[in-house]
Structure 1
Amino acid sequence: MTAWRRTGPPGDGSDGSLRATGQPGEEPDPRFTFANERTFLAWSRTALALVAAGLAITQLLPPFPGIHWGRRALGVPLIVLAAVVAVASYREWDRDQTALRLGRPLPPSALPRIIAVVVAAECVLAAVLVVLSARSGT
């Protein structure tokens, strides 16, 4: 289904003709479109921060005594989570933009739950690594 919209508002110098947008529904209020885009950009920044944290852990954190794999066990999941967040945030932006165009409620986001679960697991893993390394260091 192809949607149509005017090329510009009345009096803006355009001919006021209709053109295909390539997306279903009507053009949403620009404020909502911009808010949706800002949310996408915030998730993108979160993904970049997760990559930076994962790289910092794997490259800069001192090794855990007696646990040579500890830094990678903490850092790699954060880097993988960053990739998941980057892809999922684009999919959510597109899904939300479609909902706005069709006048439907925005679907709930799974990203906060995913991040909360992975970060909580990272915290537990970090605590286990600290305890294990303290035992092997004594």
Structure 2
Amino acid sequence: MCAGHHDVVPDDVDPRYSLANERTFLAWVRTALGLLAAAAAIVAIDLPWPDPAVRVIAGLLALTGGGAAILAWARWRRVEDAIAAGAPVPQPRSHLLVALAVAAVAGAVVVLILVA
């Protein structure tokens, strides 16, 4: 583990909190994998869209997927540290970033559908 971080949950902390945090982390990882799969899929199939547009959308999806995975780990670590310290769980900062990235991709896809 990282230096200075708690490797186990203290005895006086209900382990269900840590397990819930882990489930949330895994949900974010599944989301990241879904975004990466979508990026690969739109490049692999023959879409009636200009190739540069397909590549930009695939790139945005892949970047969002990679970013979501990194943000998931950072959030998991912050929450684990808060649980171990008995502190309040920090507010999420990454949800808006991922939502905006997905909305941008959705907007680009809608434009391509209407134009193609």
Whether TM-score is above 0.5 comes out as yes
Structure 2 CA distance for aligned equivalents of residues 45 and 107 of structure 1: 22
Task: In structure 1, list runs of 5 or more residues that go unmatched.
Answer: 1-20, 134-138
Partner-residue secondary structure (3-state), 2:48: coil
Tell me the equivalent position of 2:35: 50
Partner-residue secondary structure (3-state), 2:91: coil
Offset of residue 62 of structure 1: 1.4
Structure 1 or 2: larger strand share?
1
Tell me the equivalent position of 1:36: 21
Does structure 1 conserve the Cα–Cα contact (< 8 Å) formed by 2:5 and 2:81? no
Does structure 1 conserve the Cα–Cα contact (< 8 Å) formed by 2:39 and 2:62? yes
Structure 2 CA distance for aligned equivalents of residues 41 and 48 of structure 1: 10
Partner-residue secondary structure (3-state), 1:69: helix
Work out the number of aligned pairs and report it: 110
Does structure 2 conserve the Cα–Cα contact (< 8 Å) formed by 1:74 and 1:122? yes
Q: Which amino acid aligns with 1:52?
A: A
TM-score, normalisation: structure 1: 0.72
Q: Percent identity?
A: 34
Structure 2 CA distance for aligned equivalents of residues 87 and 32 of structure 1: 21
TM-score, normalisation: structure 2: 0.84
Q: Which structure is higher in RCO with an 8 Å CA cutoff and minimum separation 6?
A: 2
Does structure 2 conserve the Cα–Cα contact (< 8 Å) formed by 1:61 and 1:71? no
**Cα RMSD, aligned residues only:** 2.0
**Change in CA separation of 1:22 and 1:132 when aligned onto 2, cut-off 3 Å:** closer
Deviations 1:59-108 (A, max 9, x none): 114131xx221211211111111111111111111110000111111111
Tell me the equivalent position of 1:4: none
1:80 matches 2:63? yes
Structure 2 CA distance for aligned equivalents of residues 109 and 86 of structure 1: 14
1:104 matches 2:87? yes
Does structure 2 conserve the Cα–Cα contact (< 8 Å) formed by 1:50 and 1:82? yes
Structure 1 or 2: larger helix share?
2
Compare CA radii of gyration and give the structure with the larger one.
Answer: 1
